[in-house]
């Protein structure tokens, strides 16, 4: 049964934030969660309290990132979350962290290997958590690889109003998604749907939502960037008819 968040969902194609001090453009009204899709698997999340979190920053050389968002000097997040060590999730993390002073939160081995000051390396593991302003960041499993740099992870962002956002990271469907639903009951899911040689394809992504989750909003990601990945048409065919799915284009912003 769909949760009550849909009553609050509004999407706005807008143009452009506390651990530390944030901005690009997920501008959220009071009480809203702001989400800006920057292409591939990169999102900027703004909490109802104004905390800004940058997920898997791959921007300056991302063919899907709009030109106005490629300049990494504009980013002032309160924290940078990296799900694993592959270039298309971490390419700009160090540079943004150095410029902004934001901590990098990731798997223990991966965060500890990042070329940033020690006090900005925030490593952890599945079951652990960090507090970033009014957001609790929970580590959850992902089924992928991350070499060098420890295991891959997903993240659940828990907001002060009780709502949660689940970033699957790169993954295939796995049975412990049932525990993620039981423990965190995500209202918003950023869903790996990239297919190709590396990840679950859009049809399996659809299965994961149907089998394990009951979110208000699902945003597919990690497709159409490179030729080996699922295309926009593939994702739309598999997922667009699901009532929770919102197809976002790079540069789009939404409020929930």
**Helix 232-239 and helix 202-212: axis angle, to 10°?**
30
CA angle 77, 248, 102 (to 5 degrees): 10
The secondary structure of residue 245, as a DSSP letter, is: B
Burial class (CB in 10 A: 0-12, 13-18, 19+), 214: middle
In the three-class reduction of DSSP (H, G, I as helix; E, B as strand; rest coil), residue 221 is classed as strand
> Cα-flanking dihedrals φ and ψ of residue 203, to 5°?
-65, -40
State the pLDDT at residue 39.
96
Predicted TM-score (pTM) of the model is 0.89
State the pLDDT at residue 29.
64
Contacts of 178 (CB under 8 A, 6+ apart): 212
**Helix 202-212 and helix 177-184: axis angle, to 10°?**
50
Please report the domains of the chain, with CATH numbers, ordered by start residue. 4-255 (3.60.15.10)
Cβ(121)–Cβ(94) below 8 Å: no
User: Tokens 């070499």, residue?
Assistant: 147
Q: Which residues of the chain have pLDDT under 70?
A: 1-29, 145-146, 149
> Cα-flanking dihedrals φ and ψ of residue 208, to 5°?
-60, -45
State the pLDDT at residue 26.
55
Long-range CB pairs of 117-123, under 8 A, 24+ apart, other chains included: 122/19, 122/79
Nearest residue to 123 via CA among 134, 136, 139: 139
Contacts of 85 (CB under 8 A, 6+ apart): 110, 146, 147, 148, 149, 150
- Tokens read off for 212: 């394990």
Cβ(124)–Cβ(139) below 8 Å: yes
In the three-class reduction of DSSP (H, G, I as helix; E, B as strand; rest coil), residue 143 is classed as coil
In the three-class reduction of DSSP (H, G, I as helix; E, B as strand; rest coil), residue 70 is classed as coil
State the pLDDT at residue 19.
39
CA angle 162, 165, 168 (to 5 degrees): 145
């Amino acid at each position: 049964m769909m949760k009550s968040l849909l009553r609050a969902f509004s999407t706005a194609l807008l143009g452009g934030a506390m651990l530390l001090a944030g901005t690009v453009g997920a501008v959220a009204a009071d009480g809203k969660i702001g989400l800006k899709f920057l292409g591939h698997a990169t999102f900027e999340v703004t909490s109802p309290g104004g905390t800004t979190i940058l997920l898997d920053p791959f921007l300056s050389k991302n063919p899907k990132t709009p030109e106005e968002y490629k300049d990494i000097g504009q980013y002032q997040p309160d924290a940078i979350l990296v799900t694993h060590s592959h270039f298309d999730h971490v390419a700009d993390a160090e540079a943004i962290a150095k410029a902004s002073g934001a901590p990098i939160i990731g798997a223990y081995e991966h965060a500890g290997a990042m070329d940033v000051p020690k006090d900005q390396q925030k490593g952890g593991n599945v079951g652990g958590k960090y507090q970033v302003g009014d957001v609790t960041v929970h580590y959850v499993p992902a089924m992928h690889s991350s070499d060098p740099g420890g295991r891959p992870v997903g993240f659940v962002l828990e907001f002060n109003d009780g709502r949660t956002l689940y970033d699957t990271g790169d993954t295939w469907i796995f049975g412990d998604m049932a525990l993620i639903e039981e423990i965190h009951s995500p209202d918003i899911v950023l869903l790996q749907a990239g297919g190709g040689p590396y990840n679950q394809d859009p049809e399996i992504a659809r299965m994961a939502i149907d089998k394990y989750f009951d979110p208000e909003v699902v945003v597919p990601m990690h497709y159409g960037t490179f030729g080996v990945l699922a295309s926009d048409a593939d994702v739309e065919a598999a997922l667009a008819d699901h009532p929770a799915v919102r197809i976002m284009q790079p540069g789009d912003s939404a409020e929930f």
